[in-house]
Amino acid sequence: MSIDIALYQPDIANNTGTLLRLGACLGLAVHVIHPAGFPISPKTLARAGLDYVEHAVLREHVNFEQFDAWRRAADRRLVLLSTKASESAYEARYASGDIILLGRESAGVPDDIAALADLRVRIPMRPERRSLNVALAGAMIAGEAMRQIEGFTALA
């Protein structure tokens, strides 16, 4: 088992396409938790995802409750990447099977959903800056998690 990425009600098709391309290249499943701010279709995802989208593992969930029930039944740990978290994403320890949850580009995740995460981490950055692009942040932490679980070894 590897790492998965989950997008909570994504607003921007290009970020979702970028993360699907990442998933296709690194063997990571990408979960989209609806409602999304755009139609999930090859056409809307093609600009950033290119022809990689057809090789990605995309799992759609009608809402967070369905996603959370699925991940609990699968005994998967939820790792929330949030600017509000206090723990550095680079001091955290990741495990095979973790799901990295990324919030909406416009609003993150609601507090009640953040409270359900097993681990909440942030990317350290200069204090006068708000946040990184969600696709870039997701790629950074997915890469760190894969490094820790030696997930790149299987790709070599």
Q: Give the Cβ contact number of residue 67 at 10 Å.
A: 23
How many degrees, rounded to 5, is the angle at CA 52 between CA 50 and CA 54?
Answer: 110
Record the tokens describing residue 155, joined without a space: 């790709």
pLDDT at 34: 98
pLDDT at 48: 63
pLDDT at 49: 56
Which structural domain range is residue 109 located in?
4-155
pLDDT at 151: 87
pLDDT at 152: 84
Total domains in the fold of the chain: 1
pLDDT at 10: 97
- CATH number, domain at 16? 3.40.1280.10
User: CA dist 134 to 49, 54, 140, Å?
Assistant: 15, 22, 10
The mean pLDDT values, 10 residues at a time, for the chain of 156 residues are: 94 94 95 95 74 86 98 98 95 98 94 97 91 94 95 80
pLDDT at 46: 73
pLDDT at 74: 97
How much is the CA Rg of the chain, to the nearest whole Å? Answer: 14
| β-bridge mates for residue 29, sequence order | 57
